[in-house]
Structure 1
Amino acid sequence: MATFVLVHGAWQGGWCWRRVEDRLRNFGHLVFAPTLTGLGERVHLLNDKIDLDTHIQDVLGVIESEELSNIILCGHSYGGMVITSVADKVPSTVSTLVYLDALVPESGLCTLELLPKEIGSTLLESARSTDKGFLVAPDQAKNFGVNIHDQAWVNRRSVDQPLKTFEQPIFLEGAWKLIPDRIYIYATGWAPGIGKPFYEIAQRDSGWQSNSIQCGHDVMIDKPEELTQMLIDCI
């Protein structure tokens, strides 16, 4: 039996992992898919103080309270920021890092600096156009390449993201790079996408394994069976 902690990306919640979560549990594995503060079913906690550190503490809290070890820690999209810091802080609890079409940060950078400039500009403009000024509205699911059957569901469940989670730099000691297994999964069906440069780095670096899958950005929604097998292959 393996232990999986699955961290969602911006605007979503633990709900997006439902199909993969169910499949992993059917194979007998222990699975946690926490929802980050202010998102998903925790949207009632939304406030202008939520930042990247808040979301890092969310995942660290699960690991500590559940006394988890030997974790396969997977982060999607913005979730790559979260899992990198978590692994950097508690490397002894993590056996494998899986970046699912995710950002792979370097110390001192924030999400907005890691994204393509046109995407970062759009996010900032979204926040500035709202009355509150600290929220970034979700884009339409079709723009992430989500299959047509699930677009309405994803649009319905997605909520505003606190801007500070994108603006706060990450600070790393480098311990995350000592995690024995680091895997990058690139979703090739979303253009322009965010994963390609990180995937290409992983391909060139002997410390990484790299893989790709033909689907949109939300792999856990579009290709749950294939993703489940990829995660099981990490064991």
Structure 2
Amino acid sequence: MTDYVLIHGAWHGSWCWSRVRGLLASEAHRVFTPTLTGIGERSHLLSRDVGLDTHIADVANLMIFEDLREIVLVGHSYGGVVARHVADRMPDRVRSLVYLDAFVPDNGKALFDYLPDSGRRYRELAVANGDGWKVPPPPARSFAVNAADAEWVDRQCTMHPLSTFEVPAQIRGACDGVPAIGYILAAGFEGPFRQFFTQAGERRWWQAELACGHDVMLDMPKELTAQLLQHR
């Protein structure tokens, strides 16, 4: 039995992992899918005080209080930023780290530093529709979510705190010493993630590509689960 901790991306929540969670559980593994503070079913907790450190603590505290060790830690999209920090602070509890179409920030770099417009579009959305500090969710179609799930995803997504995209990463480097590290690219989505996939190859991490949109866990849950089982 393996313990999996799956971290969702911006605007999402535990709900997006339901299919993969069920598939992993059917193989007798334990699966934890924490919803980050202020998002999803915890959207009632969103405030200006919620930041990247809050989200890191969400996952770190789960691991501490559930006494999780030798885990497979998976971060999707923005969740890659969270997973990288958690693995950096608690490398002894992580045996496998998987970035799923995710941001992999270097020390001192913010998520926005990796976007072509340096985050201008999201800052403008926050000003126009989020009181300047929270970002409304983009439409699911902008992430190439499959047509059958698009309306559901649009209903499920919630506001996300802007500051989490702007704060520089504080990485010491311990995360890169995790025994097994890999990167899964959503090849059917033309986002900013191929740069990290390329870096993964340079760092000699294992790599995989799945021909789907950005929300891999919704588009190809069986194929994603197979990858997670293979690299545990």
Q: TM-score, normalised by structure 1?
A: 0.97
Residue-by-residue CA offset, 1:86-118 (whole Å, 9 max, x unaligned): 000010000011000000010111111122326
1:106 and 1:203 map into 2 onto residues whose CA distance is 16
Q: Report the equivalent of 1:53.
A: 53
| 2-structure distance, mates of 1:38, 1:199 | 29
Letter in 1 for 2:25: R
> In the aligned structure 2, how far is the partner of 1:222 from the partner of 1:84?
24
Q: Please list, as runs of the form range in 1=range in 2, the aligned pairs for 1:195-206 lying within 5 A after superposition.
A: 195-206=193-204
Residues in 2 aligned to 1:194 and 1:33: alpha-carbon distance in whole angstroms: 25
How far 1:168 sits from its partner (Å)? 1.3
The question of 1:163 aligning with 2:171 is answered no
Residue of structure 2 in register with 1:121 after alignment: 120
Aligned partners of 2:185 and 2:194 also within 8 Å: yes
C-alpha displacement of 1:131: 5.6
What residue identity is the alignment partner of 2:227?
M
Relative distance call for 1:232 and 1:62 in structure 2 (3 A) is: same
Describe the SS at the equivalent of 2:148: coil
Point out the more displaced range, 92-101 or 123-132: 123-132
- Match of 2:146? 147
What is the percentage of aligned positions where both structures have the same residue? 45
Residue in structure 1 matched with residue 213 of structure 2 by the alignment: 216
5+ residue gaps in structure 2?
Answer: none
Aligned length: 232
Kindly report the root-mean-square deviation, in angstroms, between the aligned alpha carbons of the 2 structures.
Answer: 1.0
Which residue is equivalent to 1:190?
189
CA contact 2:106–2:171 (8 Å) conserved in 1: yes
Rounded Cα–Cα distance in structure 2 between residues aligned with 1:195 and 1:109: 15
Q: Aligned letter for 1:140? A: P
**Map of 1:80 onto structure 2:** 80
Structure 1: 5+ residue runs without aligned partners?
none
CA distance in structure 1 between the partners assigned to 2:130 and 2:169 by the alignment: 28
- The alignment partner of 2:185 has SS state of strand
Partners of 2:187 and 2:13 in 1: how far apart? Answer: 23
3-state SS of paired residue (2:129): coil
Deviation at 1:173, TM superposition (A): 1.1
Counterpart of 1:234? Answer: 231
Distance 2:179 2:130 in 1: 46
Which 4+ residue blocks in structure 1 deviate beyond 6 angstroms? none
